[in-house]
Amino acid sequence: MPAPVNNAGEPPEIEGRTFDFALRIVRVCLVLDKIAGVRRTLGNQLLRSGTSVGANVTEAQAAQSKPDFISKMNIALKEARETLYWLRLVAASELLTERQLTAIIQEANEIARILGAIVRSARRNREGS
């Protein structure tokens, strides 16, 4: 299934990025899931938080109000930060190689920064209204 689209038929940048990020998280978790024990447990945590980022961004696009939008985007930000934590833990534990995780950790950092900027901007705009 393709990423969500906007009125122009294109995915809004953050929705598309978080959808693609969720796909990458699923693939990482498939690798972790092949071995029982710690890898599987960490993979489950990573899967929950990593796929939740995009789900909350998508929900925010249909928010009923500015405060609802801010709340959902803030949840997405928290989930992105949690995902980054699990990715760093997997890397530090050497469950996967640094080469396997460098790009996805970088993307998690970028998504968290973008979401943080969206939340800050939305709060400023709400206060200015």
CA distance 108 to 16: 14
Contact (CB, 8 A) for 122 and 57:
no
Which residue matches tokens 């985007």? 73
Domain that holds residue 83: 13-128
Residue 80 falls inside a structural domain: yes
State pTM to two decimals. 0.86
CA distance 123 to 125: 5
CATH of the domain at 25: 1.20.1440.60
Contact (CB, 8 A) for 26 and 51:
yes
Residue 2 falls inside a structural domain: no
Tell me: the pLDDT tens digits for 24-35? 999 999 999 887
CA distance 85 to 88: 5
Tell me: the pLDDT tens digits for 46-102? 999 999 999 999 999 999 999 999 999 999 999 999 999 999 999 999 989 889 999
Number of domains in the chain: 1
Residue 3 falls inside a structural domain: no
DSSP classification of residue 114: H
